[in-house]
Amino acid sequence: MIRKLMTCLLPAIAVLAMCTSTYAADCGKCGGESEGACCGTKTVCQRQYVTEMKTVTCTEYKKETREKTYTVMKRVPRTEERTRTVTVCVPETRTKTVEYTVNKNVMETKTCEYQVQVPYCEEVEQKYTVMVPVKEEKTCTYTVMVPVQEEKTETYTVMVPHTEEVEQKYTVMVPVKEEKTATYTVMVPVKEEKTSTYKVMVPYTEEVEETYTVMVPYTEEVQKTRTVQKRVPVTTTKTVQVRGGHWENQMVEVPSCGTDACGNPCPPKMCCKRVWVPTCETKEVPCTTYECVTEEVPYTVCVRKCKQEERTRTVCVRKCKEEERTRTYTVTKCVPEERTRTYTVTKCVPEERTRTVKVVKCVPEERTRTCTVTKCVPEQRERTYTVTKCVPEERTRTVKVQKCKTETRTREYQVCKCVPETMTKEVSYTVMVPQQKEEKYTVTLYDCVPEEKTCTYEVCVPVKVTKEVPVKKCVMVEVEVPCDCCDSGCCGDACGGCDSCCDQGCKKGCRRQRCRRCCR
């Protein structure tokens, strides 16, 4: 790639060097010639790119398919039966005696004093207000809607039906039978015998010596410890709250429900109510609880272990070899055969017919009827009614009031206490006892058998190729251009040639002296 870039860039650099020298030569010629020759035309070299075909040698990669043979180790399974000793835990039920504490209820009699409110009656004078009823007559005016009947005549329209006969055209599809002939292709079976070669894998047996590892069992006694939990009784004291109480008499105001002889509501009564007042005592009671204590107990266990032992045996290995055979078989082919058949096609042809149909039409007809209409007319009337009013009146009465006085009394009551008592009971529990037994199990072993396989892979091979590549080349071409220096008064005897004109400075305000744009 670098060589290609260098070959493309070198001609372009050479052309640029030639162009710079041409501009300087043109400016020097202008100063030595006469005034008439300088102000005519001048020959200028211009750059022009030309495309040329260049022969280039390059390397290309082509894909090539190759084959390789490799060996694969194939695992062939075989089954072997072995015996092992297994330790199994068998559950065993045992019995033990356990002590426990029961709280029994004991009744105890106690004496306490209590106060009772004893009721007694006392007469008291009381003033009360009574509402005395007084009757009064009043008159009022009210409006009544009186019904009035009135006759009206109204006109209504009725649709009267009548029958009319109309001729109607309809189309009927008439079936027509037509015979047609068709050609169809039938595949006729033809039998043909063929011979083919096929490969068969023929099995054969070969004796091979192999080394295998056997696990030889042996018994070993091992000392172990197991954790046993025991329940130990612990006596503690706990605080118990004993609930008691006593009865008290309280005066309660009860509202009355009825009325007296005059119709006045009865005053509220004072009643004596018996109320239970609860008390709470704190006592310390002994209590037995059971705690679980962990203990390590040693025991001897026979452990079945196995050690590895290498042995040799002769094994018959089943192998297969490839064998070519020939067979003859019959192939059935189907050959196409053209046949002709005649079939009948039924077509339906449309046919127009005429029929007479009865049509029922409705004609509107106006009729008159008389109906009675009921209307309500308002009418004002007067009525007299009696109103009862209640006037308050003060009266005096003697009322018996019930009062209570306090009296102290004594009573006996029973208290229930809990007394602890130790009792014994038998508890059954299950222990797992280890037992050894032999069992058979199947082991699958794998033998490694070498097998050769062939695979195809692709490789990229380098190949040198000659190609023609298009290359752009810069060429200098001579072109005649009119000279512009006479218009500005330069390049004559007065200005001293093109060099003196270019030394004065460029056009368009350029500060560079002897620039190529100004000196052209």
Whether 341 and 190 have beta carbons less than 8 Å apart is answered as: no
pTM more than 0.85 = no
Among 483, 485, 479, 478, residue whose Cα is nearest residue 501: 485
Q: How far apart are CA 513 and CA 506, in angstroms?
A: 7
Amino acid 479: pLDDT: 84
- Give the single-character DSSP code of 264: P
What is the β-pairing status of strands 269-482 and 41-254?
A: antiparallel
3-class secondary structure, 262: coil
pLDDT in tens, 409-460: 888 888 778 888 888 888 888 888 888 888 888 888 888 888 888 888 888 8
Q: How far apart are CA 200 and CA 324, in angstroms?
A: 6
DSSP 363-416: EEEEEEEEEEEEEEEEEEEEEEEEEEEEEEEEEEEEEEEEEEEEEEEEEEEEEE
Write phi, then psi, for 5 (nearest 5 degrees): -65, -40
497 by Cβ neighbours in 10 Å (0-12 / 13-18 / 19+) ranks as: buried
Among 77, 173, 155, 148, residue whose Cα is nearest residue 448: 77
Residue linked to tokens 């075989």: 78
Amino acid 495: pLDDT: 38
Amino acid 386: pLDDT: 84
pLDDT in tens, 378-388: 888 888 888 88
Whether 476 and 25 have beta carbons less than 8 Å apart is answered as: no
Amino acid 21: pLDDT: 47
Among 509, 448, 486, residue whose Cα is nearest residue 33: 486
The encoded tokens of residue 74 equal 């194939």
Q: How far apart are CA 50 and CA 99, in angstroms?
A: 123
Q: Which residues pair with 496 in a beta bridge?
A: none
CB count in 10 Å sphere of residue 34: 9
Structural domain boundaries in the chain: 23-40+484-520, 41-482
Q: How far apart are CA 86 and CA 111, in angstroms?
A: 76
- In this structure, the dihedral spanned by the alpha carbons of residues 367, 372, 378 and 382, taken in order and rounded to 10 degrees, is 170
The encoded tokens of residue 263 equal 């119709």
The parts of the chain modelled with pLDDT lower than 70 are 1-39, 260-262, 484-520
Amino acid 505: pLDDT: 43
